[in-house]
Amino acid sequence: MNITGEMLIGQSAIKGQEGTFQAINPATNEKITPDFGAGTQTNVDQACTLAQQAFDTYRETTQEQRASFLEEIATGILALGPQLIERATQESGLPTARLEGERARTVGQLRLFAKVIRDGHYLNATLDSALPERTPPRSDLRLRKIALGPVAVFGASNFPLAFSVAGGDTAAALAAGCPVVVKAHSAHPGTSELVGRVIQQAVATCKLPEGVFSLIIGNGNAVGQALVSHPAIKAVGFTGSRQGGLALMRAAAQRREPIPVYAEMSSINPMFLLPNALAARAAQIGSAFVDSLTMGVGQFCTNPGLVIGLAGEHLAQFQEAASNALKAKAAGTMLTPGIHSAYVSGVERMRAIAGVESVGQGLAATGPCAAQAALFATDAATFLASEQLEDEIFGPSSLIVACKNEDEMRAVAEHLAGQLTATLQLDATDHALAKKLLPTLERKAGRILVNGFPTGVEVSYAMVHGGPFPATSDSRSTSVGASAIDRFLRPVCYQDLPADLLPAALQDGNPLGLSRLVDGALLAT
């Protein structure tokens, strides 16, 4: 497939006229052809207007139609073959195997949402029978969820496939019945165009209204701001920096009609080393931790950036094992020059903080965007006194916090801001302490793991990739897993509607074969 540098607005391909830019290969700092034309507010308006026009038709397509559409996209992504992986490798510096895995995940997400649509639980179909004899009489009441409206999706830099153009936010929104306008991430515009063309083609193949999908290209923040501010847009999906997420939250709150923003922002993913587990296998945990820390050059939202243990010989063993493991870790290429320089200055800032010691490093950096992994240590008193130590350093850097006793460990847990994950390394004899920590961790994190590592986010029914602010802007939701569809739905109640005006989901006889809550009883199918 030819990469042209155009935006995809409905079924059109339009070269943006607001200047051009090229992708950069972070491994070489070289530009990659072709030129991409940046769009204007007018292009945003075109895409959003088409999305609005498509909305009523698209949201009332059958479950089967939307499921087939998602599967068509999945098939089309696979059909791109090596070209997609090669372009994504050039644009992101990520290794081929990682991107192949990410492609499988992207396709798997689309197929999971196809199943979610067909299952239909997301509709929350609920029926309350009329009670004409009651005083006062009760009307016939029926509830289903409908799509929220056109959704703006901002591609993430660190998952050029799985959280970008056809990634989790897009799949969930399309599944819900929402047209999607994607703002391509400037770091991987070619990858974005390839995937965007697949979706554009799937829209045509499935005979859907063209406004179901558009891909906008922008230089700087103006196009993104225009997108979030457009009256047709009813929700926003974003994965990126806290600064970026906060800007979108502000823009959404300042609209004439405020809209929900689902921003997945920053998390340092604390890992608690409980004493007996640490005594039993400090070295083993330390080495496995470094694998998690350096995987993908640490560029995961769930990267373990904080380790909490009790000061003493076992924590020293952990630190030594981690430090040794780190010495063998090559400096991987980061996604963009900007991310790399932010990492370098984050590590320098950490190094300069009084009370923080540098206790480990990976192999020295070689390429232009290569990041040397870094491990720091401090004590709990220092950690509790410095807010800065809680700032996310996006990349392979982590901080070990030594606590004097269990109370201090609990104080550190209580001190933490919202997180995507919290991990406990524990043995059976640690359960008493774990039970004391769990209530705090439940308040702080969207996912709690035992004896694992937070990197690697399963796409399934029970996954929660979310958490209290600043991990996300909305702790009531997840951006990964089947429940992600709930973000793009709202309930509507139908009172005394004649049978032929009722949506199929709510008709007597249950023609769609849905699980429904009928007079308070859940009738599963």
Q: Which residues are catalytic?
A: 264, 301
Pairing of strands 306-310, 397-403: parallel
Q: DSSP letters along 363-383, please?
A: SPP-STTEE--EEEEEEHHHH
Scan residues 483-512 and list those touching a copy of itself (CB under 8 A).
483, 489-498, 500-501
- Residue 483 parent element (H or E): none
Q: 47 to 86, contacts with a copy of itself by CB under 8 A?
A: 55-56, 60
Q: Which C-beta is closer to a copy of itself: that of 204 or that of 450?
A: 450
Task: State in angstroms the smallest separation of the CB of 60 from a copy of itself.
Answer: 7
**Residue 330 Cβ vs a copy of itself, minimum distance, rounded to whole Å:** 22
What's the min distance (Å) between Cβ of 147 and a copy of itself?
9
Greatest distance between any 2 Cα atoms in the chain: 81
Interacting positions 129-148 with a copy of itself (CB under 8 A): 136, 138-139, 141-143, 146, 148
C-beta of 294 vs 483, nearer to a copy of itself: 483
What whole-number distance in Å separates Cα of residue 39 and Cα of residue 7? 8
Q: Select from 184-192, 216-224, 399-407, 482-490 the region that touches a copy of itself (CB under 8 A).
A: 482-490
User: Quick one: which of 165, 413, 419, 154 has its CA closest to 303?
Assistant: 419
Burial class (CB in 10 A: 0-12, 13-18, 19+), 381: middle
Residue 400: CB minimum distance to a copy of itself, A: 22
Pick 357 or 427: Cβ nearer a copy of itself:
427
Contacts with a copy of itself by CB under 8 A: the residue count is 83
CB of 444 to a copy of itself, least distance (A): 10
User: 290 or 506: whose CB is closer to a copy of itself?
Assistant: 506
Closest CA to 92 of 6, 28, 20, 21: 28
Nearest distance, CB of residue 106 and a copy of itself, angstroms: 16
Binding mask 427-456 for a copy of itself (x = CB under 8 A): -x--x--xx--xxx-xx-xxxxxxxx---x
Q: Which residues, 6 or more positions from 318, have their beta carbon under 8 angstroms from its beta carbon?
A: 273, 278, 282, 283, 285, 286, 289, 307, 309, 400
Count of CB atoms within 10 A of residue 254's CB? 10
Secondary structure letter of residue 505 according to DSSP: G
The strand pair at 151-154 and 357-361 is best described as unpaired
Q: Considering the complex, state which of residue 232 and residue 335 has its C-beta at the smaller distance from a copy of itself.
A: 232
The residue (of 185 and 447) whose beta carbon lies closer to a copy of itself is 447
Instruction: Kindly state whether residue 290 participates in binding a copy of itself, applying the rule CB under 8 A.
Output: no
Interface residue with a copy of itself among 257, 352, 354, 364 (CB under 8 A) is 257
The phi, psi pair for 103, rounded to 5°, reads -65, -45
